[in-house]
Amino acid sequence: MKAPQIVLATGKRKSAVARASVRKGAGLVRVNGRPLELVEPEVVRLKIQEPLLMVGDRSKALDIAIEVRGGGIVGQASAARTAVARGLLEWLKDAELRETFKHYDRSLIVNDPRRKLPKRPGGRGARKRRQKSYR
């Protein structure tokens, strides 16, 4: 079976949506057109790198382009992380790698469905309420 020319994968977290395209190349990883090394803060960069570090040397021959929209920086990082992991799984077609990802953190493969609760009347947020006073 011939290897695919390009693999497209998506990831979501809160309102952030990431699309990753994986193709044969020189090991370049770009997030919204910028090299991964320039992504700040460092915690966000490390979060996006997790699946690449777990794959190891096999990812050195791949170029990954990630487009992320919506949400905040940590939500975008989580979405990009999921998209990269899914793209690598589809490109490498390795069942053992899938189990490794699943065992490490299930959200590498599965989108996180949690959302913010809407604010309700009678308080400042979704859960907080003003206290009753009977004096």
Name 74's Cβ contacts closer than 8 Å, sequence gap at least 6.
43, 44, 47
How much is the pTM?
0.84
What is the residue-wise DSSP string for the chain? -PPPSEEEEEEEETTEEEEEEEEESSS-EEETTEEGGG-SSHHHHHHHHHHHHHHGGGGGGEEEEEEEESS-HHHHHHHHHHHHHHHHHHHH--HHHHHHHHHH-GGGTS-B---PPPP-TTSSSSS--PPP---
The pLDDT score that the predictor gives to residue 1 is 58
For the chain, the average pLDDT equals 89
pLDDT digits (tens, 9 = 90+) for 100-121: 988 998 888 998 888 889 999 9
For residue 2, pLDDT beyond 90: no
Where do the structural domains in the chain lie, given as residue ranges? 6-106
What is the distance between the alpha carbons of residues 132 and 134, in angstroms, rounded to a whole number? 7
Q: Which CATH number fits domain 6-106: 3.40.50.720, 3.30.230.10, 3.90.1300.10, 3.40.1500.10?
A: 3.30.230.10
pLDDT digits (tens, 9 = 90+) for 65-97: 999 999 999 999 999 999 999 999 999 888 898
Q: Report, as an integer, the average pLDDT of 38-43.
A: 89
* In the predicted structure, residue 3 carries a pLDDT above the cut 80: no
Read off the pLDDT of each residue in 22-46 and give the average, rounded to a whole number: 90
Residue 40: the pLDDT is: 86
